[in-house]
Structure formats: structure tokens, C-alpha cells
Amino acid sequence: MNKASRLFWPVLVTPKNAVVKQTEQLSRSQKLLTELGLIKSGSNGTYQLLPIAQRALDKCINLVQQNMQIAGGQKISLPVLTPTQLWKKTGRLEGDISEFYMVRDRSGKQFLMSPTHEEAVTAMLASTAPISYRQLPLRLYQIGPKFRDELKSRFGLMRAKEFLMKDMYTFDVSESTAKESYAAVSAAYERFFAQLEVPYVKVQAATGIMGGSLSHEYHYVSAVGEDTLLQCSQCGYAGNLEVLDTETQTCPSCQSTSLSQVRGVEVAHTFLLGDKYSKPLGATYLNNAGKPDALTMGCFGIGLTRVIAAALEVQSTEQQLRWPKLLAPYDVCLIGAKQGSKEQLKTEQLELQLLEQLSAICGAQELLHDERKELTIGKRLMDAKRLGHPLIIVVGAKAPKLELHMCGEEPQELELPEVLRMVQAHVEHKQQLLQGTIKTKEQDLQQRLGHVH
């Protein structure tokens, strides 16, 4: 079981009359995560994730992996360092690489600290024994750090120089089967974002430095977003303004004038690449006539640390974090009476009973016991609310009645069996989200508006 007294979360305490000099614009998520001791700045543009934030990230990783496996993904790990020679072969070394970190080894050989791994994974397949068409499609993914020397590193984990990413690379025999892979992985992306229950927008996007013939981005709509998106409320069409005429007055899909501009935080990107990388790097397969043909590729990225920060940015208040249910570090926080208070003796047995019953319902790892009894209930409750625990249960002066605080709702005074039922309902809702057996609000919205063309 998790005990609050043992948790490492160095909260920033600002003296009441202190004048705080703000040197940079902070996003809501950055401010809360830093103040609450969930992340710390390592250097300009890099962040240390502390235990509570790491729990949320681990849950995000697990959820992404489940969806990648459903999409036929196989997990690999590629080196962070990619020889620049590979990028030279594909022509990308001559492009705008001002944001990429370069390092040299002692012999003078130059490497990229990879911002992405198209060249590396394609070169790996090119150096493998001939692949038969029978082995395709191949869908390989990894989860690891990526690096960008951001000119304007800001908003915490949303625009950092080092970030955690899931990137998948698909290999097919033709454009038509590559489109099937694209559809399968895109469906996994849509399922993942629907499971988080945070409204998102899927938009047509430019292929940019990655190249290829088709590209979509997934955005959370937020005032701190760096992309300008155009949305149609009639048919659900959405596009990034960088691929649209800035004078566009009507929807490219249904010709409606019900268009609005919003700001978006890009959290995922998909590309149909064709043979842009496989041809110059010699990545082939043997067709059914035994002859070599170039592999047709796709690539698919999700910024995991960015997903967490952007979801919190969208959902949180100025004072309290609000987690997607599946990413909340803990399901339940239990707070008992203060040491030496008049209600301590009469509530201790109930508190112990609750610990046992809650562990049985949600699992001991999902339960946080705030047993810092030297602090008042009010102080611990304020901490718990700011951390955004989905369910907070207080065993206090009104025992045997319990106080239940559900994130974002008014507190309730309930009997023990009713509290346990509420916890059970929360656990069941999470299980249904994981299994995809309930229609989420986001899926309903997508169905009503129609999918992006």
C-alpha cells in the first residue's frame, strides 16, 4: 500500500507575502506539476519526473502498448544515436536540421541524437536477410526518449528538449496494403485517445520534413497550442491551417460556412511514407516471384509526456489537477482523523476496515493512504484535491458516515456500503474503458460528426 508520508513530492512553498517574479509564461499544467512536486526542471527545456508523475506516465505507456499490440505491433528498441550518414542517404541531412542535436565520437564520426528513427529502422531492415512478402505487413514500435534543440522551450512537458515518445514504423508490399496498415494503426490511435476521455481533434496535416503522401495530426484544443486549426461543426472536417488556404471561407468537405479557428497542441502524428526511405536505403522484400521490391512504409508517433501535460492543461483548474481516469496516479486517497483529536479513537477501526476493503476493490497499488496524522484533515484534503485524486474518502468527525470527494464534484456524506459501491463503479468504468466495451463521449462525438476525410 502507498503511504503519503513515504512519497517523494517536494511541494514548492511560497511565503504568504512573497513577491514572485515571473520570468517566463507558464502553462497551467506546468505550474501545477511543478508547484505540487510532480516534476522538476533539470535544465532549460528538460524535466525530471518524480514518483507521482512517473506513475501516470507508466500507465500511459501501458495503455499505448496495449493498443499497439491490438494493431499488430511488435516492440523493439533502437539506439538513440543515429549515424548522420543514413540521413545523408535519404536527403534529410540537407534539410532544416537546426533543431537537432549532433554529437561526434572520439574518431570524429558524427551522430544525430535521434528526433525520429525512420532512417535507423529502415537501415536495420535493409541489413537483414531478405524478407519474404509472407512476413509482411511488419509493424515495429518502440518507446524511448527523443531530442529537439527547441528554440523556444516552454510550457513544461508540452515543449521540451527531451521527451518520451512512442514511434511505430510499418512495412508493406504495396501502397494499398500500406493504407490498410495506416487505417489499422489510426484506429488504435483513435481508441487510445477515446479511452482518455479528453476531447481531441484529428486533422489533415502537412507531411513536412517526414515526406510521404498522407498525414494526420491529433490535437488537444488549448489556448497554449502552437497550431491553428480549422473546424467544421457541420460535417466534422478538421484541418491544420498550414495545409489550407488562409482565406478559406467554406469547408473543403461539405462547403458549409460553419468554420471556426482554434488553437491545438499536437500530441500525435501519422504519415504514409511510401518508399521515401526504403529506396535510398535499399530496404526490400522478395515478392511472390522471388524478385526484390522496395518496402512501402508508414510511421506513427505519440508524444507520451506531451499527452499527459496537454490532457492536464485541458482538464485542470487553476488550483487543481484533473487526470484522465486511466492515467490518474492513484484511484483513491484515504484520509483519517488527526493524531490526538477527539474523533481519532472512534474512527481508527473504521479507517483500518476501509483500508482493507478498498485494497480488495481497487488493488493496494491504486490506494494512497494519507496517514500524515500530524496534519489536520483540512490540510491533507487540500493536498489531495490539488493532486486531483479521482476519489478522496475522509474518515472524520461525522463517522460512521464518510465524506466522499469525487474530482470536480460536490462532496457527499455517505454510509460505508454506498462509498464502497462508488469506488466499485469507478473501477468498473476503468475496466470498461480498457476493454472498449463502453462508448466514450469522444467516440459518440466522432460518430455524430463523422470522421475526418
DSSP 395-426: --TTTTSEEEEETTS--EEE-HHHHHHHHHHH
pTM of the model: 0.92
What is the CB-side half-sphere exposure of residue 208 using CA atoms within 13 A?
15
Nine cell digits for residue 135 = 512476413
Q: Long-range contacts for 427-434 (Cβ within 8 Å, ≥24 apart)?
A: 427/331, 427/361, 427/362, 429/325, 430/325, 430/326, 430/331, 433/195, 433/197, 433/325, 433/326, 434/63, 434/66, 434/195, 434/326
Residue 253 has a CB neighbour count (10 Å cut-off) of: 17
The reported pLDDT for the residue numbered 448 is 42
Nine cell digits for residue 194 = 477515446
Distance (Å, rounded) from C-alpha 218 to C-alpha 240?
10
The structural domains of the chain, ordered by start, are 2-49 (no CATH), 53-315 (3.30.930.10), 332-435 (3.40.50.800)
The reported pLDDT for the residue numbered 247 is 76
Encode 346-362: b = buried (16+ Cβ within 10 Å), e = exposed.
ebeebbeebbeebbebb
Which amino acid, residue 159? Answer: R
Task: Give SS3 for 171.
Answer: strand
Distance (Å, rounded) from C-alpha 186 to C-alpha 449?
17
Q: Give yes or no for a contact between 337 and 343, defined as CB atoms under 8 angstroms apart.
A: yes
Which residue has cell 496516479? 329
Distance (Å, rounded) from C-alpha 445 to C-alpha 451?
10
The reported pLDDT for the residue numbered 379 is 97
The reported pLDDT for the residue numbered 24 is 64
Which amino acid, residue 336? Answer: G
Assess whether the previous peptide bond of 83 is cis (omega < 30° from 0): no
Distance (Å, rounded) from C-alpha 177 to C-alpha 274?
11
Q: Give yes or no for a contact between 66 and 434, defined as CB atoms under 8 angstroms apart.
A: yes
Q: Largest alpha-carbon pair distance within the chain?
A: 85
Burial (CB < 10 A; 0-12, 13-18, 19+), residue 341, is middle
- The answer for residues whose C-beta is within 8 angstroms of residue 181's C-beta and 6 or more apart is 137, 139, 170, 172, 298
The reported pLDDT for the residue numbered 149 is 92
The reported pLDDT for the residue numbered 444 is 53
Torsion of CA 248, 249, 250, 251, to 10 degrees: 50
Which residue has cell 474518502? 393
Q: Give yes or no for a contact between 133 and 173, defined as CB atoms under 8 angstroms apart.
A: yes
Distance (Å, rounded) from C-alpha 386 to C-alpha 373?
19
The size of the chain, in residues, is 453
Which residue has cell 475496466? 431
Please give the backbone phi and psi of residue 194, each rounded to the nearest 5 degrees, phi first.
Answer: -65, -35
Q: Residue ranges of the chain with pLDDT lower than 50?
A: 440-442, 445, 447-453
Q: In 71-174, which residue ranges form alpha helices assigned H by DSSP? A: 84-90, 118-126
Distance (Å, rounded) from C-alpha 400 to C-alpha 413?
10
DSSP 8-state assignment for residue 170? E
What is the CB-side half-sphere exposure of residue 297 using CA atoms within 13 A?
29
Residue 411 has a CB neighbour count (10 Å cut-off) of: 13
The reported pLDDT for the residue numbered 97 is 85
Q: Give yes or no for a contact between 52 and 387, defined as CB atoms under 8 angstroms apart.
A: yes
Q: What is the phi-psi region of residue 220: left when phi exceeds 0, alpha when psi lies from -120 to 50, beta otherwise? A: beta
